[in-house]
């Protein structure tokens, strides 16, 4: 990554204004998954060890510019205390204004201040310059460690970088380096596994990856659209009729380039979209008129696993079926198991894929599990992320 990082700053006596992604799932005021918080700890510990006072800003949920109690970051600050025992962690009931500024000025080296949800202010998502300046007054150096929000040009992700020296955190650095390295300098064979419900959500990803990969493995609801584009009747399965031409175009491009684009040869077909639905395996070309495909079948699993196990670089984005329902999770879990056996680089990006490897207990067997859903998707599309573009370039030595 050709951007300056926290390692390029002398932090003694400095206030680090750090954008983290603490948009964590909560239930009844309790955090149910602190993965994103734990992913930020290396950066926080580095800054604290170097003598910085650390000010954290994040969003939580979608409060739509209104102060909403259920989206308060105060419980997050409480949980952070359990992750950083012995560190003084304070909480400010707003992210801008006199209280926040006073709390920032009073913060000592090695201490942490968690600001209230930046999205309580409508100016955040509008990237309002005055709001960005108000945030910037809290720190001396801006650190963006929120890869999961880097695809948004908001005040706390892009605007602040116009008013403070801006560098990447260690998590941001790793996200960009690992995924960027896989896309630009993959060890081959290079396999991309793309799933999820809709082709239309992944057009950019598919078009960007097709010229780069040795094999493109397709699963999930989007596979139905590709099969329908080949002329197969998919019964009551999810098919994007307005994306059929796009699917045909991608199939043609794959054929012209000699790239392997793998589609399911069999499917798990149910009579209804329910966890306890009656289901059976049938050839992908013989889906009954009253059936809906909800997972890839065992023959497809075997073929996909063989391709994945032989790879040296694998990127996975999107489940193979409705993995939230145990009866239709086998395909997705099988992909996770195959990736765990790869002797090379394995990258999981996207919320559902991340949930799947964690559900399978295999997250620690992957080279990298991305913290960014939409951000990792846009990165795989080859798009420039505003939160990354705003950071300082490395100085040429």
pLDDT digits (tens, 9 = 90+) for 105-153: 999 999 999 999 999 999 999 999 999 999 999 999 999 999 999 999 9
Q: Is the pLDDT of residue 286 over 60?
A: yes
- Matching CATH number, 186-380, of 3.40.1230.10, 1.20.120.80, 3.30.70.20, 3.40.50.1260: 3.40.50.1260
Catalytic residue chosen out of the listed positions 36, 119, 152, 202: 36
Q: Which fold has domain 6-174?
A: Rossmann fold (3.40.50)
Average pLDDT over residues 237-260: 93
Task: Write down the pTM of the prediction.
Answer: 0.90
Name the token pair of 75.
């419980």
- Binned at pLDDT 50, 70 and 90, residue 258 comes out as confident
Per-residue pLDDT tens digits for 40-84: 999 999 999 999 999 999 999 999 999 999 999 999 999 999 999
Sequence-ordered list of residues with C-beta below 8 angstroms from that of 324, at least 6 positions apart, any chain: none
The answer to whether 374 is a known catalytic residue is yes
Q: Check residues 356 and 117 and name the one with the higher pLDDT.
A: 117
Confidence of residue 11 (pLDDT cuts 50, 70, 90): very high
| pLDDT, average across residues 284-303 | 97
**Percent of the chain whose pLDDT exceeds 70:** 99
Mean pLDDT, rounded, for 277-283: 97
Catalytic residue among 51, 180, 204, 374: 374
Q: Name the pLDDT band for 395 (thresholds 50, 70, 90).
A: confident
What letters, b where the CB count within 10 A reaches 16 and e where it falls short, cover 80-94? beeebeeeebebbeb
Is 186-380 the same fold as 6-174?
yes
Residue 382, pLDDT > 70, answer yes
- Label residue 352 by pLDDT band (50, 70, 90): confident
Q: Can you give the pLDDT at residue 396?
A: 65
pLDDT at residue 164 tops 70: yes
Across the strands, what pairs with 319?
A: none
- The band of 397, judged by pLDDT with boundaries at 50, 70 and 90, is low
Give me the pLDDT at residue 350, please: 72
Q: Could you say which of 137, 198, 212, 260 is catalytic?
A: 198
Residue 189 has pLDDT above 60, yes or no: yes
Arithmetic mean of pLDDT, 371-393: 89
Identify the pLDDT of residue 171.
Answer: 96
Among 226-240, 291-305, 381-395, where is mean pLDDT lowest? 381-395
Distance CA 31, CA 136 (A): 28
**Residue 36 appears among annotated catalytic residues:** yes
* Catalytic one of 196, 220, 351, 372: 351
Residue ranges of the domains in the chain?
Answer: 6-174, 186-380
Q: With 60 as the cut, is the pLDDT of residue 271 above it?
A: yes
Rounded Cα distance, 333 and 312, in Å: 20
* Rounded distance between C-alpha atoms, residue 211 and residue 117, angstroms: 41
């Amino acid at each position: 990554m050709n951007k300056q990082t926290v390692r390029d700053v002398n932090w003694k006596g400095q206030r680090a204004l750090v954008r983290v992604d603490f948009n964590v799932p909560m239930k009844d005021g309790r955090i149910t998954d602190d993965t994103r918080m734990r992913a930020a700890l290396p950066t926080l510990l580095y800054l604290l060890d170097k003598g910085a006072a650390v000010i954290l800003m994040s969003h939580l949920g979608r409060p739509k510019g209104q102060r909403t109690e259920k989206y308060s970051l105060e419980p997050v600050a409480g949980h952070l205390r359990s992750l950083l025992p012995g560190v003084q962690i304070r909480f400010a009931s707003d992210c801008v204004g006199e209280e926040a500024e006073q709390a920032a000025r009073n913060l000592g080296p090695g201490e942490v201040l968690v600001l209230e949800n930046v999205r309580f202010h409508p100016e955040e998502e509008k990237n309002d310059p005055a709001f960005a300046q108000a945030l910037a007054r809290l720190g001396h150096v801006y650190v963006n460690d929120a890869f999961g929000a880097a695809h948004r040009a908001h005040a706390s992700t892009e605007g602040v970088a116009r008013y403070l020296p801006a560098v990447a955190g260690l998590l941001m650095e790793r996200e960009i380096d690992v995924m960027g390295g896989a896309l630009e300098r993959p060890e081959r064979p290079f396999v991309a596994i793309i799933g999820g419900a809709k082709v239309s959500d992944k057009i950019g990803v598919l078009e960007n990856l097709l010229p780069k990969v040795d094999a493109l493995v397709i699963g999930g609801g989007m596979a139905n659209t590709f099969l329908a584009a080949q002329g197969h009747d998919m019964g009551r399965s999810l098919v994007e009729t307005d994306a059929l031409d796009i699917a045909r175009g991608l199939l043609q491009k794959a054929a012209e380039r000699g790239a392997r684009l793998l589609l399911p040869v069999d499917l798990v077909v149910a009579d209804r979209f329910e966890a306890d639905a009656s289901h059976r395996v049938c050839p992908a070309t013989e889906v009954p008129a009253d059936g809906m495909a909800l997972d890839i079948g065992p023959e497809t699993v075997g073929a996909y696993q063989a391709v994945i196990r032989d790879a040296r670089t694998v990127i996975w984005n999107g489940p193979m079926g409705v993995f939230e329902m145990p009866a239709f999770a086998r395909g997705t879990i099988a992909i996770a198991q195959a990736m765990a056996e790869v002797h090379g680089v394995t990258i999981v990006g996207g919320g559902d894929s991340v949930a799947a490897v964690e559900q399978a207990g295999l997250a620690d067997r992957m080279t990298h599990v991305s913290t960014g859903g939409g951000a990792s998707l846009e990165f795989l599309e080859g798009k420039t992320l505003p939160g990354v573009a705003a950071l300082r370039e490395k100085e040429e030595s």
